[in-house]
Amino acid sequence: MQLIQKYEEEMALVRGWAGWMGVALLAAALLAAPWFLRGYQLYIANIIGSKIIVAIGLNLLVGYTGQISLGHVGFVAIGAYAATHFVTAFQKAAAFQWLGGPFWVALLVGGAAAAVFGVLVGLPALRLEGPYLSIVTLGFGLAVQQLLINWPAVSGGRIGLFVPTARIGPWLLNSHQSMYFLVWTCVVLLSLVAFNLTRSHVGRAFVALRDSDIAAEVTGVNLRYYKTLAFAVSAFYAGFGGALEAYVVRYLEPTMFNLYESIYYLAMVVVGGLGTIPGSMFGATLLTLLQFGLSQAQEYLPVVYGAVVILVMTIEPLGLYGRWLKIKLWSKTWPL
Amino acid sequence: MRLLHRSRLALGLALVVAALAALPVMAQERGITPTEIILGTTAPLSGPAAPWGATARGIEAYLQYINEQGGIHGRTIRFEIRDDGYQPPRAVANVLELVERVGVFGIVGMIGSANAAAVRDYIFQNEVIWMTPAVESDPWIGNPNIHYLFVTYPNYYQEAKILARYAVQELGKQRVAIIYQNDQYGMNGLRGVRDALAELGMAPVAEVSYELTDVDLSVHALRIGQARADAVILYATPNHGAMAAAALAQLNPRPQILSSFTLADPIMARLAGAAWDGVIVPSYFPYPGTDEKVDRVLQILVERNPELAAMAFNALAGVTFIEPMLEGFRRAGPNLTKESFVAAMESIQNWDGELLRGVTFGPGRRQGINRIFLARMEGGVPHQLTDWIEYPVEY
């Protein structure tokens, strides 16, 4: 057992030699994966990475701040289309052609565009709660998809939009392997940002709002600011994840952003564990793997998917992260 | 004891190495072994477009029958079906998996323009045989990468032109309108109607679009009534087609409906009831109930998968995707390779299958069929109106 003596120790992201070993193993596994996984497995890994980013963002909103969003796919779509149009426009500008459209800026543009809409959707959230807020966000998600369908100049209509290949200078990221490194670097960076955010006064303000917004306001948390901020940050993650997914799939079409997807994102967060960053990762990984890996189950896929979600929630209401905590607790006195 | 352990390990390693070494020899031609041909498809078996998954089930049942007959040149055909829920990212994952892990010889069919568009470049770059993606023809026309693509699916644009011309020239209609789904499929229909009418010095009197999410088309029908259209061309899903027909039947005088072949399934008579009587529908293969060979195939399918009885046309359409491919296998002989298959397919000239008739491929020709015929539906029973009507070969 470890005795925590200082506040910094309590706040540390990684604790003790076991923690560092775990981090090292995870890093090694992530780095080694491209040499062990086949092309299509890497593609799925890349999709998982982009979904993890969206799930982390949604968890900041739902798990930490206690707001709800049934239209998160709207932010994902905005991010994906904004990034794609930014890169395409950039490539067309003759002066910048040698840059080939900087994808890292595009990813940030995708995130920022979504964040702007996050603020807009966050405003009604100041007055609405629970079921009412869920309907507002639901409407937002549906509206974005309908807008895309009926605005061919943006969405390419139902013909779809082809996304240019990401490139760093002369290096074209046209293999699943190179995309893997891009996607997972983003996952690591954005996870760290999220971890730090939740440990900072901002994260505490979010949690305070979730537990009781009146009590939070009394203790000096600016409700208007932090609720809107939560929506903006969450939307930024969604937009960023959407932009990444656009680069991975290299094709966009409005049906990719339907209501089902919003529900799936919410399911990832709940199954993984509300209010935990690793939970978002577990949830996004499990549910994406189920969808993509079980395509052989054919008609039974939705049944299997549903059964797994029900099973996880029944035996572990705190989600996969709850189970992980129990395993950690149990292994503290290992090997006895 | 430890020695034994080591020797076991060494033996294990040797086996692994041997297996790896054997791989390239076995994998001379992807998806072909001395006893098997492996094919695959990704289809919407769950999600909003699940009914169209019947095409994959039709292929599966027909291949089961072919295998029961002993396969082709001693090879049975394994058919791997993957569900994509009508989602492009999942369709991409499925095609990658089918090609890279399963190692399929070819991809058969594919439903949904978006899904086909998302995998198109990958399939072309990796030179995978692709049989009849059930989408519009535009992406193939003038495309230099279609060497391994073979299509026996009608062209929506050309079909729309034929329907518009028939309405004006044969039925003497003067005010032609169109109801179309606001997507790639519907837009192709709209383009065809506009162009055909323009050639006759006319224009559609109304162009009414609807969305996949619409649940009522009575307002759309009223707009047709306002335009006093005497013929309406319909590019819709089965459900919307039925809704439109029911709403149009309320108009007085009732306009003549001509619909896309995608609404040729007899299920339309059940969905729309009497409103579907008199509708003119094309087809690219003879209707079940009008042709002995087609009836026999349908019977084969239903015996192996009774659920297909309710989706006869879709299941049969699935068979039309694969039928010419099987003929290609027969012609390529026992020494099947990708190139011998392409050569065999190119030798198919004016070939009659069980369902498809008059299929022609050739060097530089990938459009296997270029004709449809029209029929009038009465009580769900088609009555043939015309002989084959040809349209240009474009790719």
Tell me if A291 is assigned to some domain: yes
Residue found under tokens 């492996």? B38
**Mean per-residue pLDDT for B275-300?**
92
Do B368 and B155 touch, CB atoms closer than 8 A?
no
- Which residues 98-117 on chain B approach chain A with CB closer than 8 angstroms? 99-101, 113-114, 117
Sequence spans of domains, chain B:
36-154+289-364, 156-283+375-390
**Inter-chain CB proximity B117 and A253 less than 8 Å:** yes
- Burial readout A278-315 (b: 16 or more C-beta within 10 A, e: otherwise): bbbbbbbbbbbebbbebbebbeebbeebeeebeebeee
Give the model's confidence band at A285: pLDDT under 50 very low, under 70 low, under 90 confident, else very high: very high
Does the CB of A146 have a partner CB in chain B at under 8 Å? yes
Tell me if A67 is assigned to some domain: no
| Nearest-CA distance B44 → chain A (Å) | 9
Q: Tell me whether residue B111 is exposed, middle or buried, using C-beta atoms within 10 angstroms of its C-beta: 0 to 12, 13 to 18, 19 or more.
A: buried
**Mean per-residue pLDDT for A90-106?**
72
Q: Are A299 and A209 found together in one domain?
A: no
CB nearest to A43's CB, from B50, B92, B213? B92
Q: Are A89 and A194 found together in one domain?
A: yes
pLDDT at A94 over 70: no
Q: Which of A40, A48, A155, A290 has the most B C-beta neighbours within 10 Å, making it the best mutation to test the interface with B?
A: A40
**Inter-chain CB proximity B83 and A146 less than 8 Å:** no
Give the model's confidence band at B168: pLDDT under 50 very low, under 70 low, under 90 confident, else very high: very high
**Inter-chain CB proximity B96 and A251 less than 8 Å:** no
pLDDT at B87 over 80: yes
Q: Are A269 and A198 found together in one domain?
A: no
Tell me if A4 is assigned to some domain: no
Q: Which residue has the higher pLDDT, B333 or A96?
A: B333
Say yes or no: do domains B36-154+289-364 and B156-283+375-390 share a fold: yes
Does the CB of A256 have a partner CB in chain B at under 8 Å? yes
Do A54 and A76 touch, CB atoms closer than 8 A?
yes
For residue A185, what are the CA distances in angstroms to A30, A191, A235, B264?
A: 10, 10, 20, 51
Give residue B26's pLDDT.
46
Q: Which residue of A has its CA nearest to B43?
A: A298
pLDDT at B2 over 60: no
Give residue A100's pLDDT.
58
Q: Are A250 and A108 found together in one domain?
A: yes
Give tens-digit pLDDT for A2-39. Answer: 677 887 777 778 877 878 898 999 999 999 999 999 88
Q: Are A253 and A312 found together in one domain?
A: no
Phi/psi of residue B294, each to 5°?
-65, -45
Do A274 and A62 touch, CB atoms closer than 8 A?
yes
pLDDT at B6 over 60: no
Tell me if A50 is assigned to some domain: no
User: Complex ipTM, two decimals?
Assistant: 0.87
Average pLDDT, chain A: 89
Render A192-220 in DSSP notation, one character per residue: HHHHHHHHSHHHHHHHHHHH-HHHHHHTT
Name chain A contacts of B136, Cβ cutoff 8 Å: none
Average pLDDT, chain B: 89
Indicate the residue among A218, A237, A257 that finishes a domain: A257
Tell me if A179 is assigned to some domain: yes
- The CATH code that applies to domain B156-283+375-390 is 3.40.50.2300
Residue found under tokens 């998982």? A48
Do B264 and B364 touch, CB atoms closer than 8 A?
no
**Mean per-residue pLDDT for A135-141?**
94
Does the CB of A36 have a partner CB in chain B at under 8 Å? no
Q: Are A222 and A281 found together in one domain?
A: no
**Inter-chain CB proximity B183 and A251 less than 8 Å:** no
pLDDT at A177 over 60: yes
CB nearest to B114's CB, from A43, A253, A292? A253
Residue found under tokens 């008609």? A299
Name chain B contacts of A249, Cβ cutoff 8 Å: 88-89, 92, 118
Does the CB of A151 have a partner CB in chain B at under 8 Å? no
**Inter-chain CB proximity B84 and A292 less than 8 Å:** no
Angle, helices B184-199 vs B156-165, to 10°: value is 40
Q: What residue ranges in chain B does DSSP mark as E strands?
A: 36-43, 76-83, 106-108, 129-131, 149-150, 176-181, 206-210, 231-235, 256-259, 280-283, 371-378, 381-384, 389-390
**Inter-chain CB proximity B94 and A297 less than 8 Å:** no
Q: What is the number of helices (H) and of strands (E) in chain A?
A: 15, 4
| Nearest-CA distance A76 → chain B (Å) | 14
- Which residues 210-249 on chain B approach chain A with CB closer than 8 angstroms? 211, 213
- Which residues 245-304 on chain B approach chain A with CB closer than 8 angstroms? none
| Nearest-CA distance B351 → chain A (Å) | 33
Q: How many CB atoms lie within 10 A of CB B99?
A: 23
Name chain B contacts of A295, Cβ cutoff 8 Å: 42, 82-84, 90, 93-94, 97
Q: Which residue has the higher pLDDT, A332 or A99?
A: A332
Give the model's confidence band at B11: pLDDT under 50 very low, under 70 low, under 90 confident, else very high: low
Do A179 and A173 touch, CB atoms closer than 8 A?
yes
Q: How many CB atoms lie within 10 A of CB A167?
A: 18
Indicate the residue among A224, A257, A290 that finishes a domain: A257
Q: Are A107 and A184 found together in one domain?
A: yes
Tell me if A1 is assigned to some domain: no
Give residue B155's pLDDT.
92
Q: Is the dihedral of CA A148, A151, A156, A160 positive or negative?
A: positive
Phi/psi of residue B381, each to 5°?
-105, 125
Give me the torsion for CA of B249, B250, B254, B259, rounded to 10°. -30
Q: Are A283 and A220 found together in one domain?
A: no
What's the topology of domain B36-154+289-364?
A: Rossmann fold (3.40.50)
Q: Which residue of B has its CA nearest to A147?
A: B211
Q: Are A265 and A315 found together in one domain?
A: yes
**Mean per-residue pLDDT for B125-150?**
93
The count of residues in chain A is 336
Give tens-digit pLDDT for B240-260. Answer: 899 999 999 999 889 999 999
Q: What residue ranges in chain A does DSSP mark as E strands?
A: 161-162, 167-168, 171-172, 251-252
Cα–Cα distance, B214 to B247 (Å, whole number):
14
Task: Look at chain A and report how many structural domains it folds into.
Answer: 2
pLDDT at B124 over 70: yes
Give residue A240's pLDDT.
97
* Domain region containing A213: 73-166+174-257
Do A308 and A282 touch, CB atoms closer than 8 A?
no
Maximum C-alpha span of chain A: 68
Name chain B contacts of A256, Cβ cutoff 8 Å: 87-89, 114
% residues pLDDT > 70 (chain B): 93
Give residue A142's pLDDT.
93
Give residue A1's pLDDT.
52
CB nearest to B46's CB, from A159, A256, A301? A301
Q: Are A79 and A200 found together in one domain?
A: yes
Q: Are A276 and A245 found together in one domain?
A: no
% residues pLDDT > 70 (chain A): 95
Indicate the residue among A257, A284, A305 that finishes a domain: A257
Tell me if A219 is assigned to some domain: yes
- DSSP letter at B254 equals P
Name chain B contacts of A149, Cβ cutoff 8 Å: 182, 211
Strand, helix or coil for residue B36: strand
Do A264 and B90 touch, CB atoms closer than 8 A?
no
**Inter-chain CB proximity A160 and B113 less than 8 Å:** yes
Strand, helix or coil for residue A100: coil
Q: Are A133 and A150 found together in one domain?
A: yes
Tell me if A28 is assigned to some domain: no
CB nearest to A299's CB, from B45, B48, B92? B45
pLDDT at B374 over 60: yes
Q: Can the peptide bond before residue B282 be classed as cis, meaning omega within 30 degrees of 0?
A: no
